[in-house]
């Protein structure tokens, strides 16, 4: 049986040696330690531990920042925070950073070993469906979610699709490119410190470390680049910024989802042109169907229609049937999402995606089906 490889990180030498002395169980193997400094990530990638123990005293920020990077850079590595005392106000940040366990000194060998085994098991279970071996040669699938009208559930689908893909073990990022009124962060119940406008004002759009520092990390595993906090900051983000960010992120994520504004702006077109798949969202009303038809014609003239898939949201039994919509749009509709106002509103108000809050609901099942369809479809489109 393979031993669980454990790495220790911290700046207190006495504590590090104390932790090392506790790793006496034959189920674990100590493989190295590092100071909590600028070289720690490089050393961690080199050692590839199953479990990292971060010894923390007062500098929670450095420990949490490292945990976020480990979550992204070393899939399969579980992080345990071991400290003298713990501030309960840090619980949310610890959770969002993907830290599996928080333990306190003093601690004995048995308890530490049990928690190492549990953290390793939890992370291993999360990675069961992921192709970790391909992570160093990753080819991102870029998906743009677009709608010809506002208020039709475009962001709901983006968020839930992202979480569904993450549940499959995929490394997923979301870019909120609705620069004036984007609210992806609201659906994730996240209040971002920095947004895409801060990233675009400097020269950081091409720096993956800068991008990851700016990203918000949801407990589902989805990383988010949030829209500007106020519409006037949208002017700082150019189409070139968007393209640079996408290209910089490509080697590090399986799927990058881009939520867009319901207009044919230069930003939206940049997202569409850089995508492998465009999900065009529509609903069952004459006005939206008219706009969707116009959008399909525009995408065809721009030679972007071949990679476009229609998704009918909020489907109900009404005057306009699915057959009617297919006839009007002259397109086959393969994906529909059931209308369930109560479930969707409850999840939104909680700040919890539907596929996590109500996965067994009809709308939750439809969103999961969409994720499966996307994975199966897009793999045939990426050369």
User: What is the side-by-side strand order in the sheet with 51-56?
Assistant: 28-34, 4-9, 51-56, 78-83, 101-104
Q: Is pLDDT at 67 greater than 80 in this prediction?
A: yes
Residues 157 and 107 in one domain: no
Last residue of a domain, one of 97, 128, 159: 128
pTM of structure: 0.65
Burial category of 186 from C-beta neighbours within 10 Å (exposed 0-12, middle 13-18, buried 19 and up): middle
Q: Where are the alpha helices (DSSP H) in the chain?
A: 13-22, 40-47, 60-73, 91-96, 109-126, 154-167, 184-187, 196-201, 208-214, 239-249, 266-273, 286-301, 322-329, 341-350, 354-357, 362-378
Q: What is the CATH number of the domain that holds 110?
A: 3.40.50.2300
What distance in Å separates the CA atoms of residue 229 and residue 224, rounded to the nearest whole number?
Answer: 14
Same domain, yes or no: 312 and 266 = yes
168 domain-assigned: yes
Asked whether residue 383 is assigned to any structural domain, the reply reads: no
Judge whether residue 380 has pLDDT over 70.
no
Same domain, 277 and 196: yes
Provide the number of structural domains found in the chain: 2
Does residue 322 share a domain with residue 201? Answer: yes
Statement to judge: residues 168 and 288 lie in one domain? yes
Largest CA distance in the chain: 73
CA distances from 122 to 28, 45, 116, 127, 302 (A): 16, 20, 10, 9, 46
CA 194 to chain centre: 16
Q: Tell me which residue range forms the domain holding 65.
A: 4-128
pLDDT at position 188 is 95
Report d(CA 22, CA 18) in Å as an integer. Answer: 7
* Residues 182, 120 share a domain: no
Q: Residue for token digits 């659906």?
A: 187
**pLDDT 10s digits, 29-55:** 888 888 898 888 878 886 789 999 999
Residues 41 and 146 in one domain: no
User: In percent, how much of the chain has pLDDT > 70?
Assistant: 95
């Amino acid at each position: 049986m393979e031993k669980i490889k454990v790495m220790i990180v911290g700046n207190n030498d006495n504590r590090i040696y104390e932790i090392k002395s506790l790793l006496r169980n034959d189920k674990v193997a100590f493989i190295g330690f590092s100071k909590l400094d600028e070289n720690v990530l490089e050393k961690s990638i080199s050692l590839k531990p199953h479990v990292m123990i971060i010894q923390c005293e007062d500098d929670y920020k450095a420990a949490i920042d490292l945990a976020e990077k480990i979550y992204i850079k070393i899939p399969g590595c579980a992080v345990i925070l071991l400290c003298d005392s713990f501030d309960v106000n840090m619980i949310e940040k610890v959770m969002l950073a993907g830290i599996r366990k928080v333990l306190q000194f003093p601690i004995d060998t048995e308890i530490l070993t049990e928690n190492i085994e549990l953290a390793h098991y939890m992370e291993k279970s999360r990675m069961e469906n992921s192709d970790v071996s391909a992570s160093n040669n990753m080819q991102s699938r870029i998906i743009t979610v677009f709608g010809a009208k506002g208020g039709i559930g475009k962001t709901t689908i983006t968020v839930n699709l992202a979480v569904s893909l993450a549940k499959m073990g995929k490394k997923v990022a979301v870019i909120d490119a609705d620069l004036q009124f984007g609210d992806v962060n609201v659906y994730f119940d996240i209040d971002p410190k920095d947004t895409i406008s801060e990233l675009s004002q400097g020269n950081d759009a091409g720096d993956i470390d800068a991008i990851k520092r700016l990203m918000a990390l949801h407990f589902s595993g989805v990383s988010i680049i949030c829209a500007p906090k106020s519409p006037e900051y949208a002017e700082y983000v150019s189409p070139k910024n968007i393209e640079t960010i996408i290209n910089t992120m490509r080697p590090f994520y399986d799927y990058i989802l881009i939520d867009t504004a319901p207009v044919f702006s230069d930003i939206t077109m940049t997202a569409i042109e850089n995508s492998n798949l465009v999900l065009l969202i529509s609903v069952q009303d004459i006005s939206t169907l008219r706009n969707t038809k116009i959008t399909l014609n525009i995408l065809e003239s721009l030679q972007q229609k071949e990679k476009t898939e229609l998704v009918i949201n909020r489907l109900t039994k009404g005057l306009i049937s699915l057959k009617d919509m297919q006839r009007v749009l002259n397109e086959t509709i393969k994906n529909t999402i059931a209308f369930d106002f109560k479930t969707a509103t409850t999840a939104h108000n909680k700040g919890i995606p539907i596929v996590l809050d109500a996965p067994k609901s009809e709308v939750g099942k439809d969103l999961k089906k969409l994720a499966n369809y996307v994975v199966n479809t897009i793999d045939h489109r990426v050369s």
